[in-house]
Chains A and B, each alone.
Chain A
Amino acid sequence: NAGVTQTPKFQVLKTGQSMTLQCAQDMNHNSMYWYRQDPGMGLRLIYYSASEGTTDKGEVPNGYNVSRLNKREFSLRLESAAPSQTSVYFCASMRERGYSYEQYFGPGTRLTVT
């Protein structure tokens, strides 16, 4: 049971380049999330997916796209990276059974855009 996995762990991009952050969970959770974490600003929700086939915008969706490929996988894409997207990105899934709503987080991806 690996929990929530993210790849890559580190990435450096140049302005204008694109990339996809991958996330997978093996806990059979319906809901999955993408956050970014910046100093002094906590975790800000980018997008979430309440179930396979659905996605919704969070607090800071501009500049990002997501795909809920199947129940296990939820990817985040930066089409044209900007320095303002330098951040640590976390993927999470949510346990809903028993109305727990506990989130399980991946280890994070540190992204630097130069």
Chain B
Amino acid sequence: AQTVTQSQPEMSVQEAETVTLSCTYDTSESDYYLFWYKQPPSRQMILVIRQEAYKQQNATENRFSVNFQKAAKSFSLKISDSQLGDAAMYFCAYRSPNNNDMRFGAGTRLTVKP
């Protein structure tokens, strides 16, 4: 089964600075989907960004971008111009192409300092 690893339990960043959250995964599949979800204190899960494995171009959504390294099985999230509202748990997730099985990492808690 696929596994998703987030090696940084906690990260902090100064407001307006840039921070990168790491994610690695283990798979033998070639075509899959990767996601970053945000969970603020309200506990609601919110999709931040999505990457299709067959696309070489890194996904970008406003201040959020990814560095997708398929050979290294790495999928990091970069948050630019960090804002206080970015403070949350961030989860990396993997979707298998053969079914709808989804696996999440353990999460990284991001603190934004004013």
Contact = CB atoms under 8 A, between A and B. Distances in A.
Contacts of B6: 42
Given A43-B91, A50-B99, A94-B100, A103 B106 contact: no
Interface string A34-47: 01000011111100
Contacts of A10: none
B35 to A, nearest CB: 8
Interface residues of B, number: 24
Interface string B32-53: 0101010000011101001010
Given A42-B104, A42-B105, 5 more contacts: A42-B91, A48-B102, A50-B100, A102-B35, A107-B44
Contacts, number: 57
B37 to A, nearest CB: 8
Nearest to B4: A42
B50 A100 contact: yes
